[in-house]
Amino acid sequence: MAGIVFVSIDDFTREGFTNGLFLQVRELLKRVITRGHPASLACIAQSRNPGVGRRTRTIQGCTVHETFIGASGVASVYRRALQDILNDLDPDVILLNSCAVRLNEAHHAVLDESLASGRQVAVLVTDQLYPTSSDHPEDEVRSYYSLMRQTSVHAVSETIADAFHGETGVPAQVLPNLLPERRVVPASSGAESRSLTLINHHPIKGRRVWDALIRQRPSDAYLAVETWPDVPAYVPPSPRVEVAAFTPDPTTIYNRTRILLVPSLGPEGLARVTLEAMESGVPVIAHRIGSLPELGNAAMFIAPPPIAGYELDGNVLYPMVSQNDVERAAQDLGQAIDALDHDPALRARFVTNGRALVRDYRDHSEAVSGRLLDAWFGTV
């Protein structure tokens, strides 16, 4: 029976379903299963434990196959591990993702082996952190994208699709965020008693702007939600900040949220947290950066501070922004918060526009994914 497997190189075992990429994969696999086809996620991950070779488990309704290799795994080891996975699962479609920040030999080997298998290969692009010749040797990048031209590439937004094509020469179709069905329960208290919320306090998500805002507005209530595991330890600048653990069901988070703040400092995709918040009736204030402007009049936008570049320290990418610009960005954010807090009609307009946008977005993304699955597996 025709099926699909998403293959992750190292990342899923460490991160799980905590980021936009893997949530998109989860939702796509669920839709394949609904059509009666087998679908699973496979991760080839480095391990220092020689006693564990392979394991299979179910996470959030998805079957996950993990293959553990030596901590110094070379490209040929990843290639052999993928061959074993494909022999065991025998999928018709192999789903991959464009690597973020760091391109290494394993990414090249897995992409090459996937194509050599003769199966359909598709690649997901969920942000603009894909490798380019500005941060990698030109011959490595050229070879990687030469292989990718033999696949179908699917970006999560028009902004990313256009940028990816322009920078790599590889055309990309748009596969919007696939949203899970969820029951929205109205919050029991008024907006004035709820928090300003940041989901993911990673530096590239605007941690410094968030902290500056807290120092400028010391009497407000704040909620910071942890998601990604590869994030520097966070010490809030005020006891008014509650730090909450990641939860697969965001309803409880948004019911405690007055405004969702997205002070992003990176070229991210159309963040699904913005869509979740809007569907819950929570207005969104965001930096006009990356794909976020595609939210149109459903979000309140402010200009991001000037970003001089990015610095990679270990696995963490830090935006380079002067402290004066951080403070000014926090002031702009504070003014936008005051505008929503002091004008009920303005808040109501953003809530109405947000709910309408998500309703149309859901319909569109389901139609696009349906056509993609028709192309892979035939019409229902």
Same domain? For 129 and 205 the reply is no
Tokens 């994208």 identify what position?
A: 145
User: What does the DSSP assignment read for 264-304?
Assistant: --S-B---HHHHHHHHTT--EEEES-TTGGGGGGGSEEEPP
pLDDT, tens only, 30-76: 999 999 999 999 999 988 676 558 999 999 999 999 999 986 668 99
Pairing of strands 222-225, 241-244: parallel
Q: What is the CA radius of gyration of the chain?
A: 21
- Same structural domain for residues 255 and 231? yes
97: containing domain? 4-175
- Mean pLDDT check: name the lowest of 14-18, 86-90, 295-299: 14-18
- Mean pLDDT of all residues in 294-322: 95
What integer pLDDT is reported at residue 14 of this predicted model?
86
For residues 12 and 89, state if they share a domain: yes
Structural domain includes residue 285: yes
- 370, containing H or E segment: helix 344-377
DSSP annotation of 204 reads G
Contact criterion met (CB below 8 Å) for 18 and 246: yes
pLDDT on residue 125: 96
Residue 149: CATH number of its domain? 3.40.50.2000
pLDDT tens digits, one per residue of 132-152: 988 889 999 999 999 999 999
146 and 17 both lie in a single domain: yes
Residues 99 and 211 in one domain: no
State how far the Cα of 148 lies from the Cα of 170, in Å rounded to an integer.
Answer: 7
pLDDT of residue 102: 82
The structural domain count of the chain equals 2
Is 184 a member of any domain?
A: no
Check residue 260 and give left, alpha or beta (phi > 0: left; psi -120 to 50: alpha). beta
Question: How much is the pLDDT for 50?
Answer: 62
**What is the per-residue pLDDT for 100?**
82
Secondary structure class of 141 (helix, strand, coil): helix
Alpha-carbon span 261 to 283, nearest angstrom: 9
SS3 content of the chain, % helix, strand, coil (to 5): 40, 20, 35
Strands 120-125, 39-47: pairing is: unpaired
With a CB cutoff of 8 Å and minimum separation 6, the contacts of 270 are 156, 157, 159, 176, 177, 291, 292, 294, 295
Task: Output the pLDDT for position 181.
Answer: 84
- Percent of the chain topping pLDDT 90: 81
**Are residue 128 and residue 168 in the same domain, yes or no?**
yes
pLDDT of residue 315: 81
d(CA 24, CA 322): 34
Does a structural domain hold residue 368?
no
224 and 79 housed in the same domain: no
Asked if residue 219 and residue 86 are part of one domain, the reply reads no
Name the average pLDDT for the chain: 93
Instruction: Give the model confidence (pLDDT) of 258-276 as tens digits.
Output: 999 999 999 989 999 999 9
Choose the final residue of a domain: 116, 150, 175. Answer: 175
**Which of 149, 175, 201 is a domain's end point?**
175
pLDDT reported for residue 176: 97
Distance CA 90, CA 112 (A): 17
Asked if residue 67 lies in contact with residue 85, where contact means CB atoms within 8 angstroms, the answer is yes
- The pLDDT assigned to 191 comes to 64
**In this prediction, what percent of the chain has a pLDDT beyond 70?**
95
Most confident option among 13-27, 72-86, 336-350: 336-350
Tell whether 168 and 196 lie within a shared domain. Answer: no
214 shares a domain with 166: no
CB 277 within 8 A of CB 354: yes
